[in-house]
Amino acid sequence: MDTVSIDEVKRMDNPIIVDIRDNYSYSISHIKNAINIPYYNLINNYSHYLDKNKRYYLYCSEGNQSLEISKRLNAFGYDTKSIRGGFITFR
């Protein structure tokens, strides 16, 4: 499965959470300890940001972009999961 719920992520020890929304949205509010790598930065330069030996949990606003990019990154050999429903499920 390419997705995981926010509740599952909250129960994990030190997950690497990546907010793929723009810098402005991230600066207003984000999931605690999430790092911000905007969508276009990540898709155009994923090898700069990600390590194939780590698992990443990605989220966007509603879950669609993060699911799309997660599938793409997994096809390139990365271990990613999309947080179902995106940031709106966190509120």
pLDDT at 2: 86
- Position 32 scores a pLDDT of 92
User: What's the number of domains the chain is made of?
Assistant: 1
**DSSP states along 45-89:** SHHHH--TTSEEEEE-SSSHHHHHHHHHHHHTT-EEEEETTGGGG
What is the pLDDT at residue 78? Answer: 97
Q: Using an 8 Å Cβ cutoff, are 50 and 23 in contact? A: no
Picking from 53, 55, 23, the residue whose alpha carbon sits closest to that of residue 36 is 23
Q: What is the pLDDT along the chain (91 residues), one digit of tens a residue?
A: 689 999 999 999 999 999 999 999 999 999 999 999 999 999 999 999 999 999 999 999 999 999 999 999 999 999 999 999 999 988 6
Query: Which CATH number do you get for residue 37?
Result: 3.40.250.10
